[in-house]
Amino acid sequence: MPGANNYPRKDLKDIQVKAKRPPKDMEETPEVPKAVTLPGDIWQIGSHRVICGDSTNQDTIQKQLFEGRTTSLVFTSPPYDNQRSYKIGSINWTDLMKGIINAIPAEEITQVLINLGQVHREHEWQPYWTDWLQWIADPERADRWRRFGLYIWDQGTGLPGDWNGRFAPSFEFLFHFNRKERRPNKIVRCTSAGDAVPIDKKGGLREKDGIQGSKWSHAGTKVQEWRIPDNLVRINRQATSGLERGHPAVFPIGLPEFIIKAYSEPGDIVYEPFAGSGTTLIAAENTGRVCYASELAPEYVDIICRRYMRMFPNGAKPTLTGHGDFFDVANGRGIEVPDDAALYRVGTGTKRREEINTLEAFL
């Protein structure tokens, strides 16, 4: 969920970004289109699967979506605390997150990475994750998950504006849980790949006596081409510009792509329990992985299908078993699918203008 979206309206109202609005009397109240998707539908998109359902329901996820299969990687961005009003009503955040974790069709090596951002209320940031973190790693629970890693997602330069006395937000967290470690893939190119490390180079970790480099020095060897990522994940937040604008909390495709490349292999099933506008599914398609995703709101499931068809016009059409493809189903249910082409046309706008539009949606 990108930074600016995670701040209460009170904080947002001070953002000094002014986007042009049409005069009041010209504003139209957009009609909310009825969704093609119905609760319980499972769309097959090539090898990907998307269910419109509740990810806390073990039957929905393990039997219906996964049909008994397992996942090697979970990557997701849940709602942060009880902050945002999606199309799903109010939630108890800790219960929601316990339910999601309990429903994961896990295998021994499954890695779970969860993106969470800060929430501010009453002039304080809220440690809303405390009860959930205690529960997840509770040593009394046989099926506990280890609090294995904590990483920072560096989103790039902070957005302009007045943030009520705080520095402009430009990072979020990535919590990494597992039961058994899996070595991350080396996916980051070394800047001096192939160069020889000077023979007298004293590099590497200090040893117990405080002297640097002997046992752990790479002196005399060549710098490797690729290395494992470090724990500051640098992926710029992205202006939403296409169909994903219909969702209030989209993360950049580069983020799930990075995590997927690091912690899975081509062909692996990546599970996304809070699919939103389908960003993780797109990242899976881009990286040759398979995504099984779940999203509660039918309107957002429609966005996933339509966004996929727009981004991969030569790819598979979302299909509902026994009912045909997305357009057949829309016809059968008497729903008109909007023409999405205009949303993908880049007008005179620049990335900056897109960013303003995105912020505008929250003001």
Ligand X SMILES: C[S@@+](CC[C@H](N)C(=O)[O-])C[C@H]1O[C@@H](n2cnc3c(N)ncnc32)[C@H](O)[C@@H]1O
Q: Which is nearer to ligand X, 201 or 354 (CB)?
A: 354
Residue 60 binds to ligand X (criterion: CB under 6 A): no
Q: Which is nearer to ligand X, 94 or 199 (CB)?
A: 94
Site for ligand X in 318-357 (CB under 6 A): none
d(CA 48, CA 50): 7
- As measured in angstroms, the least distance from the Cβ of 271 to ligand X is 12
100: closest CA among 82, 72, 79? 79
With CB under 6 A as the contact rule, the residue among 12, 49, 66, 79 that binds ligand X is 79
Residue with the closest Cβ to ligand X?
A: 276
d(CA 56, CA 49): 17
Residue 77 binds to ligand X (criterion: CB under 6 A): yes
Q: Which is nearer to ligand X, 186 or 354 (CB)?
A: 354
Q: Which is nearer to ligand X, 250 or 259 (CB)?
A: 250
For 163-168, the CB contacts below 8 A with 24+ separation are 163/7, 163/11, 163/14, 164/10, 164/11, 164/14, 164/120, 164/123, 166/120
**φ, ψ (nearest 5 deg) of residue 18:** -110, 115
Contacts of 63 (CB under 8 A, 6+ apart): none
Site for ligand X in 256-315 (CB under 6 A): 274, 276-277, 279, 294-297, 300
Query: Site size for ligand X, by CB under 6 A?
Result: 23
Q: Which is nearer to ligand X, 101 or 296 (CB)?
A: 296
Residue 56 binds to ligand X (criterion: CB under 6 A): yes
- Please choose, out of 52-60, 186-194, 199-207, 308-316, the segment that lies near ligand X by the rule CB under 6 A: 52-60
Q: 3-state class of 9 per DSSP?
A: helix
**φ, ψ (nearest 5 deg) of residue 146:** -80, 140
State the number of CA atoms in the 13 A half-sphere of 183 facing the CB.
Answer: 5
**Residues engaged in binding ligand X (CB under 6 A):** 1, 54-56, 77-79, 86, 88, 96, 247, 249-251, 274, 276-277, 279, 294-297, 300
